[in-house]
Structure 1
């Protein structure tokens, strides 16, 4: 069942319009250079650089699924629909002969049957609803197995190939609080009131949460009526692990009575299909998740930690016997691990982790011996350069499929077979082979605060000449417990193409350097991470190619916090863009969508009990020092760092008569780059603000 890929190419009209719209995003240096060139030379130079219009041309691979015999890989090929302004994806296959074939349009979550004869996936039915489908390879036919009212997720085959488990949202049974009279036929009344009683009632990216809970289902692999296995006002999601006899399923959930107030206290549960009984097999205070079972059924692996209410806590790998006894830590490793999967060939559990900004794949034996297998995991291609592993799968013969990325390459499909790594796709060669990208180098330096070694990356403009002086953008990651890394970043490439040196840093508080390094900012953020960032700027200036009088700073989320903190502490930057920030920790702790989490992990307690502590760490406390021209940029539907935070800062700056602007992105949540046009707008406004303040 082969289909033709819809055209992803720009029309000449739209390309010209977009270039006109974003023409103001070049730096002063780039604008001057273009004005001095002939029209033909300018056009040639422009075409050779990575431009905003190129965002819609990018593709990237994800969700690599290798067949049980290792001969074939199915993966999702992601692209950007310019007409509907969204990311979409289709399933492609690399068969045993190495031929690259399109397979299923607008589908996700491909999963091989245990015998390799079928592929389950989530696709669209004739009504445009997400359903569970199955493709039979011998017959080259696909059909829907379900007729669900909600989208399925987490689909997983039983070992005997007879059933498929999945999660689906189910509406809670609730009666209206008040009964209103029926409106007359044809009357236009206002929308009815919304009654909210649950603790967490909205979520960034999802909006106000309906009264629904995610539950576990199974359905016959031949189709039919799904059977619901879990009940109650609890959410069940994540990884599904079947026992080898296909009679029980392990899942992770937080089914405690106080689950709303203890969001980190999940357990591993055993669900019996025969009677739908649910039994907890872990019981500690802290998160337990991602269950995986060895093929002989004797060992269960899972990840988690004992909750000590720190800002950052290392998630490690544990094992226990099949009955839940003999729990023990399998790995003594100061990096958070994830996605354990058993491999008979490798005689252990494979897992992912991030070390010093680079995502890796490793295996650990049941004796605790660890061996690294691969570097550069990731499928990032849009937005900022966050380090994070791609998913992976392993065949019976030990071959492993996953995705890889570098600063010069968006996510591509790769295969690792007995130490031999092959990159199987080159999805962006048609675009990037004709572009001059900003090259990236790593630089480490001692911080001025305590001589702590800090890792950074420097992206230089295309056709970089080290004898010249360039303006610098310090771009700061969010989290704050996160990490930038050596991965592709469309946003930063656009900044480099506009003529800037771009500096991005993992200051203290960043993950992938161990728990102690991350918790340097525990109950102390912002803190000495400010010193780390200033040391990074000084180190790059010392390289000789940065104009110290043309420094700019921006960052989003936690990076927005630090940008606001920086301009309240120094006037060395010509202009700043504070994106989706927290400005007042007191108000944030009571308006963020995760307000049941932040007050007890990032702070010593409730804000009214620690008012001075909250205010001391809030950038609003430094607003009286700000002289830097500042733009605020936030999505209007952001529930993680609500736009009220930006409004506070903007209005405070305006009262002080500081050169300030506020950019509100309609419909955008915290993940502004979720829609390609929002990413383009974000970068265009940042660069135009900087160009306006040379």
Structure 2
């Protein structure tokens, strides 16, 4: 009896210790407690910022975001309150009103917030979802884009079912060039069009009507008479998927005039405050898989465009004019760090910060958002390996963190420490950047399993940003390595183009060199090496197990396995065949198969699991099914995890993020 009591007490004590340890580290259920700031929008007076406070709802398993405000001293409070999805907020020129899109009234409508009374209300009754809100300079009008249905009749006429009969759903006839989109499903008949409406509310008026998509950022001319937009209005737009131009449309009569004309994309137009100049982003298309996005400025009177970033070896984004129209603010990623600069039109450039980022809370991708007021007052999202995005105010030499949205969750927890590393590539004169994430309570005298986690894209970059997936892996007792091998962005155009028509290739070697660099530190159990990655990272994971048996297990997430079948089933197939490959698959069979992981499945001995969303149209689940069945035929231990209704972005549902990591850890712990 005493032995049973002692055993019970021991088990209870052990359970209590385990519970305490779990409470002290990041656990799967904590994903629902995460919050992050996005879309900072400074009030025209500069004394406070409105932002979207994003959060996870455990009851609906959805991510929501509502408008909050924070003043320059860091006082945070709701702008409106309630539960909703608010976004696309934009201030009227005088700051008296804030227009935004919200589903507060049941469907996505344009809402208005009045600063004097703090009232808010929907001002539209639209049948679609508006986006790209833009105020006219006089504050009297709002422009926006919205998908506008244009139903087409079926080419055949079918008899109707008799009254009371139950027939099958009628066949669906598809003849669109791009007929389905990841995250959007099968395309409906219609196009994105531009609308204007009185800022006081009323019936929107459709300005454009051509059977092309008119989307993206909208910019009013200074006289309130025209709106500048980007579109691909060519008859052969399907064959030139990246060749857009800038146009203006007259508010009075809808007449469209072309502003740019070159081979390559032109977009993100922005008119200077004095109304004299136009800035935009684009590049001369050389048909490469990665090309640097450049910044251009021209007089609206029609002078030749001026290229402002010819000396910059990084892609530009998020351009904003200075208040005096003498320069522009913009951002770019360098070595995974979000950098904000100010540049005079005469070319002088001044770096303001390099710590912007933090918007991707699932995996540690780069990318952030900022706004600017007056003579350089910045508010931006902060990249922090220990926290999702918060807001920072920077004004000259003054820097103040405005929000701490996750202290209630993390103040009493130990997260995995993140350490930056650089190591030599054995193939080419490159230094490769990576990050090691240590498990909580790390002891350098012990031996730990190592998980290599590989980013997608492939032309993207990881950063020293918070990652729920990586932190959960570390909390389970693993050392995690993530790196930016060749092909990654933010290291210059040459580095990114190393994998043009050559992917996967020496990026595999860069990853193996990173694993060796961590092993050399002396705390890795070489019998417990694991590898995983999603999308492009899934491609590389499948490539790795076809070229080495050094890993004990692998999880291939949402991969491409066969480039031939991929380009014939993916949503952006007209782009992939032109920019990722030297030609059509049936004309270049050897090239497609040389770089397809399926070609090396006969070499695989590593236990390999597949994990993909069933609604993924970017890397369709048929790719995973091919590899699963091939591994079965080859006698390799395998399993397949199918995530119901999930698109390529699996983590859009918080529970799917949890499930993804849980299955990855299960597979690794089993092996």
Task: State the TM bucket, normalised to the shorter chain.
Answer: over 0.9
Q: How does 1:39-438 map to 2 (within 5 A)?
A: 39-95=15-71, 98-104=74-80, 105=82, 106=84, 107-124=86-103, 126=105, 128-332=106-310, 333-344=312-323, 347-390=326-369, 392-438=370-416
* CA positional deviation for 1:656: 1.2
SS of equivalent residue, structure 2 residue 655? helix
Please name the residue that 1:571 is paired with. Answer: 549
Matched, 1:539 2:517: yes
Q: How does 1:500-579 map to 2 (within 5 A)?
A: 500-579=478-557
Q: Which moved more, 1:624-633 or 1:128-137?
A: 128-137
* CA positional deviation for 1:376: 2.0
Listed one character per residue, the Cα deviations across residues 343-393 of structure 1 (whole Å, up to 9, x for unaligned) are: 125841111110011111111111111111122212425311111122x22
Cα root mean square deviation, aligned? 1.5
Please name the residue that 1:656 is paired with. Answer: 634
Matched, 1:624 2:602: yes
* CA positional deviation for 1:442: 0.7
* CA positional deviation for 1:325: 2.6
Q: Would you say the 8 A contact 2:393–2:401 is kept in 1?
A: yes
Distance 2:302 2:417 in 1: 51
Q: Which moved more, 1:309-318 or 1:87-96?
A: 87-96
SS of equivalent residue, structure 1 residue 140? coil
Distance 1:108 1:441 in 2: 34
Unaligned runs of 5+ in 1: 1-33
Q: Would you say the 8 A contact 1:354–1:389 is kept in 2?
A: no
Q: Would you say the 8 A contact 2:136–2:224 is kept in 1?
A: yes
Distance 1:131 1:40 in 2: 50
Please name the residue that 1:443 is paired with. Answer: 421
CA gap 1:424/1:229 in 2 versus in 1, 3 angstroms: same
Higher relative contact order (CA closer than 8 Å, sequence separation 6+): 1
Matched, 1:38 2:21: no
Distance 1:53 1:681 in 2: 11
Please name the residue that 1:3 is paired with. Answer: none
Distance 1:245 1:272 in 2: 11
Distance 1:650 1:193 in 2: 31
Moved segments of 4+, more than 3 Å: 34-37, 95-99
Matched, 1:639 2:639: no
Distance 1:100 1:416 in 2: 17
Q: Would you say the 8 A contact 1:495–1:502 is kept in 2?
A: yes
Equivalent pairs, count: 658
CA gap 1:37/1:554 in 2 versus in 1, 3 angstroms: farther
Distance 2:358 2:460 in 1: 17
CA gap 1:298/1:484 in 2 versus in 1, 3 angstroms: same
Please name the residue that 1:615 is paired with. Answer: 593
CA gap 1:542/1:47 in 2 versus in 1, 3 angstroms: same
Distance 2:609 2:63 in 1: 28
Distance 2:377 2:138 in 1: 22
* CA positional deviation for 1:642: 0.6
Distance 1:480 1:125 in 2: 37
**Structure 2 length normalisation: TM-score?**
0.96
Distance 2:228 2:325 in 1: 23
Q: Which moved more, 1:526-535 or 1:252-261?
A: 252-261
Q: Would you say the 8 A contact 2:452–2:530 is kept in 1?
A: yes
SS of equivalent residue, structure 2 residue 436? strand
Listed one character per residue, the Cα deviations across residues 617-670 of structure 1 (whole Å, up to 9, x for unaligned) are: 000111000000000011111111111111111111101111111111111111
* CA positional deviation for 1:553: 0.3
